[in-house]
A and B are shown apart, each in its own frame.
Chain A
Amino acid sequence: MLLLLANLIAVSLFLSCPWWVLKREFGGAGVLAGTFGVIDPQELGIPDSLAIGWIPWLSGAWVLLALCSSWALLIRERQLRARWLYSLGIGGLLLFGLGLLRFYGAIGAVNGVALAEGILPARLPLRRFSPSLACYASFAYALLLLLLGRLQLPGGKAFLVRWRQIVVPLSALGLAVAVGAVVVWILRPGLGASPDLTLFENLTTKLDLITYTFQLLFSPLTHLSGLFQSLLLATPLVFTGLAVAFGFQAGLFNIGAPGQLTMGAIATMLVGVYLSGPGWLTLPLSILAAAAGGALWGGIPGWLKARFGTHEVINTIMMNYIAASIFLFLISANQYRFFGYPVTLPFKAPGPEARSYEIRPESRLPTVLELLGLQGSGAGELSWAWPLALLAGVSFYLFWRRWPIQRRLIGSLAVGLLGYLLGGILPGWPVEVPAGLAVIRFNGAFLIALLAVAVVNFYLWRTIEGYELRAMGLSPKAAEYAGVNLGQKQILAMAVSGALAGLAATHYVLGAGIEEYRLKQSLPANVGFDGIAVALMGQNSPLGITLTALLFGVLLTGGLQLNLELGISRELVTTLQALIVLFIAAGGLLPTYFTDPLQAAQVEMDAQRALAPSGEKEEIPLGPSSGPPSTPQPQS
């Protein structure tokens, strides 16, 4: 049934969607090549020499492929069916590759002639060409055929369920993108749509608009400054995602990351501005202050829960509003009256804007470019010190798996230091830093974030305390019987969670993530809420969180471009994040054996029984109801 539905969708997509975009102007208008010829609503024109006669043929081949795969429904034997689907899937991948080759070949031929005539690269006849929706759909379809083939073989379902940590977030992402596509469809008319287009052409331009929207969202991946900007925006998300996930691991829901971030920012501002001293002392202290501020704001709800049993969700939300008030109180004015008495505060910097004084230069975090030994734009020499130190340290840690953990960590640190010294001696690599890259304030907070990821990973999965914490998260009662002090653990978990959220402030205040080295009203505290999406999509694992934060960083950067070119608000990305939370809560709308670990284990057991030779089957004790393995019973 799934196959038939997929085929129906695939064929309609192949026929109605644009396959390729031959050229595109700023603002999105472009020349589309679909199954039934070229659609050029704005009459941009393409050179006659462009060979695109093969596009309908390719499209026809895909439709044929989809028809062939429907044949699989008639094949009785599973093995044969699987083989049929596999071969069609591989054929699809080959066809996809062939299409890409033809497309870039044809474009390259036209542009090559123009280049030979001496036209500047910026004025080529075909610019910003790309594959389009039908092309992506065909690729996805080929992968789906392979997946369906795997599902036909014994153990197929168990295979999919085993990967549920990835399947569920991906499904949620896909659903969110689908809803996002509908939103875009409603928000804007098609690119270059005009009244004299036919209904079909209007449909095609709409689909093109949706494709282009998501292409723009992912476009930062294609150039270096976009990547830098994405990493910049991902940094606070790593912190807040870790914070929320740490709470989840302990069975606590910390919605207070915005408030903890704000308090961290206030604390780090106080230390960074008012503590004078050498940089090697004040910078670490400023970072610690950010963690301490967040820990305080997270610890209070933890204490309230442990002492009075009040739910942490409401308390953390209340603390968000309180933190926002304190924040504004400190930086919006200096003269206040309490019960008629004037009080003067020293925190607001002079000027109309609500902001604090600047962080002392020695307490600022260096940018990543500075860490690499480069000074601003223009020519410079790439220093090997930090890259080598990181590489050496991490690879040492990964290779000496046999060693006890303490020795491994110390060795890793030592080797890292050695790498740093060695890299300092090595001659630098001459590079040219483009001006666009130098203005991006991608800073050392990213390294702190990576360190935090490593530490949280280590704590949760390599220490007894972390084990107890996770035990509490899975079942507080069982953990308590096993001797875990629940109250203490809850306070600790909330404080650490708050500290992680507070560290995000190092990026904003010490690393000038908000353009200036100070506390400003534009501090985006709501990033703390985005942490919920990051934690859920990353399935609370440090690696997943890092990857998700990077993905969201890319999307947020793409959102800027989207606003610039199509006039669609960046809030689209925030909406996508919220939708992801919703869909992950709903288990990606997948069957329950993907979300319920007990049912997942049942699927796994069924698969192993099916794989076992039939002779052995009788000997396996099947439990009380030794009948054939049935569908899992729901737990009530």
Chain B
Amino acid sequence: MRSATAHQSDLKNGIFVTPFLLVFSCLLVIPLLWGAWLSLTKADLFGPGKFVGLANYSRLFADKVFLGSIVNTLYFVLLTVPAFAVCGLALALALNRQTRFATVMRAIFFASSVLSVTVVTLIWRIVFIPDIGLLSNIFGWLGLPQVAFLSSPKLAMPAIAIATLWWGIGLPMMLFLAALQQIPGEIYEAAALDNAKRWKTLWHITLPAIRRTFVLVLIVQCVLQFQLFGQAQLMTQGGPNNASRPVVLYVYEVAFRRFDVGMGAATSQVLFALILMAALVQYVVARRKEESR
């Protein structure tokens, strides 16, 4: 049986978390529940909705464009998330030194993260645009034919993925750098005394030491990249032939351009479920691996 003092202490502790819980409820829990309710209604932005049950969901799963947007989004996640993890780690390993050059390079690689999506897409449109773009000029110097990245159904999504990687590489790099700097130097010194080669050190010391950060990067990037929107809207408008239309762009078009907020909310619920599943799978797999050690 717990004493009255302990209960009092619990209540006092509760005061500390109340502001967070309030903000969390107002900005996340209530909108989430409201979104779930909206998905069961036929509603627009300017009036009360009408309950229609699962009608929005049945319309949604009969829509080829929506199903295509799911495939596009998964493809984009596959293109970007492993690339963020591998490139972020490679950059962090390369720049994990106390030299002025490494400091400047870290700042340069992180700098793109502070740009807005509008600036990023402007820059990359100039890179990809045929005839006068940077890549077009390089292809011309090499005597190679022009490639229309943004109007090719096969290349549009990889082009958006490259722009996104350039934009967002700073965060995983910094997370990996922070993790690398937590590894005690003595372990590396011991490995050096044992004549361990660089690859062996990486494989047996560095990677196991930062595995939690690795999982964190994968989960964070998964959640972020499932929400691809601005780059696709500004670089390709979801085209050509719906080849680069992600789920969030679909939500935006349905809810704000067609005033079909109920259908937009239903799409958002599906996206939420997808992100949740992807994050949970990674988390569970990582935990199991850890427990089996």
Whether chains A and B associate is no
A contact set with B: CB distance below 8 Å: none
B contact set with A: CB distance below 8 Å: none
